């Protein structure tokens, strides 16, 4: 714990039992005169903090035992008595998979010189606690893979007055020492905004049991209630009579991550379920299967004949005439919301139905547009996907997993560099990934996470992600802090060598690369001992970047060693994997399988002879027999196209993003089905597109590539002290970009005529110089 704070202990509640559990903590204190004070608050797993019944926020940000974060809250207190209270959630397996737990409890400290310290500091002040009844948590759907469980909340047994402070039934909280390392979060407060529940697109009298099997729009049981539900979304009350069933489906118009909120009174015995979905379905829900929830989608704006099935929360009404506020315990993601109401013998009045959006405050400070409006619209989808997949950690997708996968976060972070100067989330993400290393040096594929998953390729992408940071931001001290983990990681991976000197991937790990047909669980073809062309070329690629980092930090010996190993390995790769007849690098030593993936990484090493590089470029353009990249790995395919000068191919492979626009989606997909001949250059019908997640930020990378590959704006070295400008528009006729830089905003506009003649204008902030590489078609 930081030395600037006085020592505080952790509180546990009396009778603390197994998870899941929800508990209240509170302390009553008095101040003799108005004052301002600062609190530092942590909880395990998380809490909601209140002062005199007013919410102060949810906290802390997710971390682990090495970095358990606390949140700082500024208070303004008037003279008199006050109550500080916290509701602490400890859900165990029912919490999102990235939520860690050591031992549930609450920790509150103050600044060392604060007069408030003795009255509120845990372990010193007299805190009381009690278990909060009324919460039950169901099993996560089998397809959720890490997201939150559905909750049933019983308002009739809940203590609605807990935030007012200790009363009968409260016990003295037990104070204990805790060995975890506390540190302040480096992140800003999350973005919060209240918003309406959306546009009512359907209403009927389906109930809790038959809603999933009742089609929308053309349902035989449809009632004329859309207007009343729309009035509810607009801020007016909805009256539901006794012994009635009502259902409505709302369209938010865009993808949203938000807390569900409802204020209701009366309705003794009534039940309300509020569920979320990314997309409507063409078939009713048949069970908790991948096919049942990942597929059966069509144009996302279609309503008639579609079905709703999602995940959410159920609220049992408290009854009585006092309005009660209900809220989901965790934010929910999606575009569509279903509300189902069943009343008993008493009528129910829903006074307000609303949402509170939440995400990291990631905004587009830069700008990129081109002459193709369909591509421009796809970039807007990418921006929204990036926002929805950024919270107190990065997330692969908000609907299914909510996990910070290291491979996913690299293109997310690169997009962030061309969007904003805010690098707090990337820095925290890389630190946490380094913290996850095991005794041998292998870092986890997703972290924070309660389980263990290692993907060797993701270990390598972590090194490359730090290299990206050094180029685009260049905090030398931060990079040096992460380098011990990078060295240990590469030493561990490079220890597994076969008899022929090639690298073998570690046994018993998930050797995933991309979701493509023919690669079981995303694992490319390999020799029985684990030797694979793609993996070996990626190690060469990573060793070179590690050597550059070492040299930048002045570690010349380490840089020379990494470069020598890359030299040796690249020669072995050239001898074993190059197939001259095919004009391509093989995936396997037997040279029977070939992929775009291996060609891309081999090109990106920059270690191939010129003629070989040219032949691979031709193969990528012409050979339909290559295993095709899916959306994740197209980032590296696009990098290779840019290095080859083939912006025409990059442009051609943007077809899936055109398909997303035409399909009515609001964010970028996780996957796209492959055409056997043309791969991602073809566009299957949207109803045949098995996309899995509708919101996956790894597919937002065209935003980065239009800046870095098409406009050709990139750092000319570590620290972004100079900018390299090499525009290559290919089939694009015009592109405009604005890129945030520590010295100011860079702006560029390029245009080419029908004969390929390029003209343009560049405006750089004062003190930033540009480099124009040889062969640049514009000056």
pLDDT for residue 219: 47
Beta-bridged to residue 192, according to DSSP, are: 358
pLDDT at 451 over 70: yes
Determine which of 31-40, 100-109, 156-165, 220-229 has the lowest per-residue pLDDT on average: 220-229
Number of other residues whose CB lies within 10 A of the CB of residue 513: 28
CA distance 703 to 379: 6
- At 341, is the pLDDT very low, low, confident or very high (cuts 50, 70, 90)? very high
Please state the rounded mean pLDDT for residues 697-717.
98
The whole-number pLDDT of residue 2 equals 46
CA neighbor of 44 nearest in space, from 26, 14, 21, 27: 21
Tell me what pLDDT residue 517 has: 86
Taking the C-alpha atoms of residue 430 and residue 678, their distance in angstroms, rounded to an integer, is: 37
Torsions phi, psi of 190, nearest 5?
Answer: -65, 150
pLDDT at residue 231 is higher than 50: yes
- pLDDT of 90-136, one tens digit each? 999 999 999 999 999 999 999 999 999 999 999 999 999 999 999 99
What's residue 673's pLDDT?
74
Q: How far apart are CA 299 and CA 660, in angstroms?
A: 9
More confident residue, 270 or 518: 270
362-414 per-position pLDDT tens digit:
998 999 999 999 999 999 999 999 999 999 999 999 999 999 999 999 999 99
- Residue-level pLDDT at 689: 61
Per-residue confidence band for 221, with pLDDT thresholds at 50, 70 and 90: very low
Rounded CA-CA distance 492/489 in Å is: 5
> For residue 692, what pLDDT is reported?
85
Distance from chain centroid for Cα 134 = 31
C-alpha neighbours within 13 Å on the C-beta side of residue 358: 21
Whether 109 contacts 6, CB under 8 Å? yes
Cis-peptide into 123, omega within 30 deg? no
* Nearest C-alpha neighbor of 633 from the set 402, 411, 431: 411
Evaluate the CA torsion angle 562, 568, 571, 572 in order and state its sign. negative
Say what the pLDDT of residue 688 is. Answer: 56
Does the CA dihedral 374-377-379-384 come out positive or negative? Answer: negative
Q: Are 256 and 391 in contact (CB under 8 A)?
A: no
Indicate whether 667 pLDDT > 50: yes
Q: Is the pLDDT of residue 435 over 70?
A: yes
Q: Assess whether pLDDT exceeds 80 at residue 677.
A: no
Q: How confident is the model at residue 369, as a pLDDT? A: 98
pLDDT tier for residue 148 given thresholds of 50, 70 and 90:
confident
- Angle between helix 424-435 and helix 406-419 axes, rounded to 10 deg: 160
- Check if the beta carbon of residue 10 is closer than 8 Å to that of residue 124: no
Q: What is the mean pLDDT of residues 420-433?
A: 98
Residue 296 has what pLDDT? 84
Average pLDDT, the chain: 94
Q: What is the predicted pLDDT for the residue at 7?
A: 84
Confidence of residue 220 (pLDDT cuts 50, 70, 90): very low
- Report how far residue 319's alpha carbon sits from residue 321's, in angstroms, rounded to the nearest whole number: 7
pLDDT at residue 291, rounded to an integer: 44
Domains of the chain: 10-133+154-184 (2.60.120.260), 191-359 (2.60.120.260)
Other CB atoms within 10 A of residue 184 CB: 17
Higher pLDDT, 144 or 467: 467
- C-beta separation of 362 from 387 below 8 A: yes
Q: Please write the tens of the pLDDT for every residue from 584-634.
A: 999 999 999 999 999 999 999 999 999 999 999 999 999 889 999 999 999
Instruction: Give 507's pLDDT tier (boundaries 50, 70, 90).
Output: confident
Cα gap 730→734, rounded to integer Å: 10
pLDDT at 196: 98
Confidence tier at 78 by pLDDT (50, 70, 90): very high
Which pair of structure tokens corresponds to residue 691? 């996309």
CB 407 within 8 A of CB 458: yes
pLDDT at 373: 98
Q: What is the mean pLDDT of residues 292-302?
A: 79
Residue 412 tokens read as 């997310």
Token pair, residue 109, equals 């400290």
Q: Please report which confidence band the pLDDT of residue 4 belongs to, taking 50, 70 and 90 as the band edges.
A: low
**Greatest CA separation found in the chain?**
87
pLDDT given at position 218:
60
Report the alpha-carbon distance of residue 524 to residue 538 in Å, rounded: 13
Q: What is the pLDDT of residue 676?
A: 60
pLDDT above 90 for 691: no
- pLDDT band per the 50, 70, 90 thresholds, residue 684: low
Tell whether the model's pLDDT for residue 671 goes beyond 60.
Answer: yes
For residue 223, name the pLDDT band (cuts at 50, 70, 90). Answer: low
Give the residue, 289 or 313, on which the prediction is more confident.
313
The lowest-confidence range among 221-225, 275-279, 457-461, 715-719 is 221-225
């Amino acid at each position: 714990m930081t030395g600037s704070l006085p020592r505080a202990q952790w509180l546990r509640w009396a009778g603390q039992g197994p998870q899941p559990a929800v508990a209240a903590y509170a302390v009553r204190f008095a101040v003799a005169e108005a004052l301002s004070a600062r609190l530092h608050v942590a909880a395990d797993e998380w809490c909601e903090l209140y002062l005199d019944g007013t919410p102060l926020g949810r906290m802390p940000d997710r971390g682990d035992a090495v970095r358990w974060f606390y949140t700082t809250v500024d208070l303004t207190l008037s003279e008199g008595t006050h109550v500080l209270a916290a509701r602490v959630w400890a859900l165990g397996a029912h919490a999102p998979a990235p939520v860690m737990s050591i031992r549930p409890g609450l920790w509150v400290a103050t600044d060392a010189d604060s007069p408030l310290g003795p009255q509120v500091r845990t372990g010193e002040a007299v805190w009381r606690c009690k278990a909060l009844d009324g919460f039950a948590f169901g099993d996560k759907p089998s397809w959720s893979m890490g997201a939150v469980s559905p909750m049933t909340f019983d308002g009739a047994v809940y203590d609605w007055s807990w935030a007012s402070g200790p009363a009968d039934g409260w016990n003295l909280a037990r104070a204990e020492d805790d060995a975890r390392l506390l540190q302040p979060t480096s992140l800003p407060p999350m973005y919060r905004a209240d918003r309406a529940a959306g546009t009512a697109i359907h209403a009927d009298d389906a109930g809790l049991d038959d809603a999933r099997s009742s089609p929308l729009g053309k349902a035989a049981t449809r009632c004329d209630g859309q207007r009343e539900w729309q009035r509810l979304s607009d801020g007016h009350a909805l009256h539901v009579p006794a012994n009635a069933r009502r259902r409505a489906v709302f369209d938010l118009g865009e993808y949203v991550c938000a807390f569900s909120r409802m204020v209701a009174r009366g309705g003794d015995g009534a039940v309300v379920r509020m569920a979320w979905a990314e997309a409507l379905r063409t078939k009713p829900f048949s069970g908790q299967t991948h096919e049942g929830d990942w597929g059966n989608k069509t144009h996302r704006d279609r309503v008639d004949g579609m079905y709703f099935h999602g995940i959410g929360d159920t609220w049992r009404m408290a009854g009585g005439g006092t309005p009660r506020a209900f809220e989901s315990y965790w934010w929910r993601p999606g575009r569509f919301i279903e509300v189902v109401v069943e009343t008993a013998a008493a009528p129910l009045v829903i006074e307000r139905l609303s949402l509170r959006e939440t995400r990291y405050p990631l905004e587009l400070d830069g700008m990129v547009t081109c002459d193709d409006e369909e591509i421009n619209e796809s970039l807007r989808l990418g921006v929204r996907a990036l926002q929805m997949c950024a919270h107190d950690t990065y997330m692969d997708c908000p609907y299914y997993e909510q996990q910070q996968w290291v491979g996913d976060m690299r293109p997310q972070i690169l997009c962030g560099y061309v969007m904003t100067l805010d690098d707090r989330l990337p820095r925290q993400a890389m630190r946490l990934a380094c913290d996850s290393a095991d005794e041998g040096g292998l870092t986890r594929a997703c972290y924070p996470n309660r389980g263990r998953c290692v993907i060797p390729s993701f270990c390598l992408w972590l090194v490359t992600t730090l290299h990206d940071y050094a180029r685009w931001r260049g905090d030398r001290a931060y990079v040096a802090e992460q380098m011990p983990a990078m060295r240990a990681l590469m030493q561990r991976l490079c220890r597994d060598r076969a008899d022929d000197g090639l690298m073998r991937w570690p046994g018993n790990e998930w050797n995933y690369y991309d979701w493509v047909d023919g690669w079981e669980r995303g694992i490319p073809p390999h020799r029985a001992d684990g030797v694979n062309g793609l993996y070996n070329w990626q190690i060469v690629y990573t060793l070179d970047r590690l050597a550059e980092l070492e040299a930048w930090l002045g570690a010349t010996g380490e840089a020379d060693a990494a470069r020598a190993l890359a030299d040796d390995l690249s020669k072995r790769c050239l001898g074993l994997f190059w197939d001259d007849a095919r004009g391509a690098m093989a995936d396997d030593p037997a040279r029977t399988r070939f992929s775009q993936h291996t060609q891309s990484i081999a090109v990106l090493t920059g270690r191939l002879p010129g003629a070989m590089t040219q032949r691979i470029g031709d193969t990528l353009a012409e050979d339909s027999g290559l295993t095709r990249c899916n959306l994740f790995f197209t980032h590296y395919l696009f990098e290779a196209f840019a290095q080859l000068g083939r912006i025409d191919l990059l442009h051609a492979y943007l077809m899936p993003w055109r398909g997303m626009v035409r399909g009515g989606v609001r964010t970028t997909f996780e996957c796209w089905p492959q055409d056997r001949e043309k791969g991602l250059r073809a566009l299957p019908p949207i109803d045949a597109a098995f996309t899995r997640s509708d919101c996956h930020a790894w597919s937002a990378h065209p935003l980065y590539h239009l800046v870095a590959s098409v406009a050709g704006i990139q750092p000319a070295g570590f620290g972004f002290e100079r900018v390299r400008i090499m525009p290559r528009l290919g089939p694009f006729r015009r592109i405009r970009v604005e890129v945030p830089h520590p010295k100011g905003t860079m702006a560029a506009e390029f245009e080419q005529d029908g004969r390929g003649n390029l003209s343009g204008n560049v405006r750089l902030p004062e003190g930033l110089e540009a480099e124009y590489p040889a062969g640049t078609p514009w000056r």
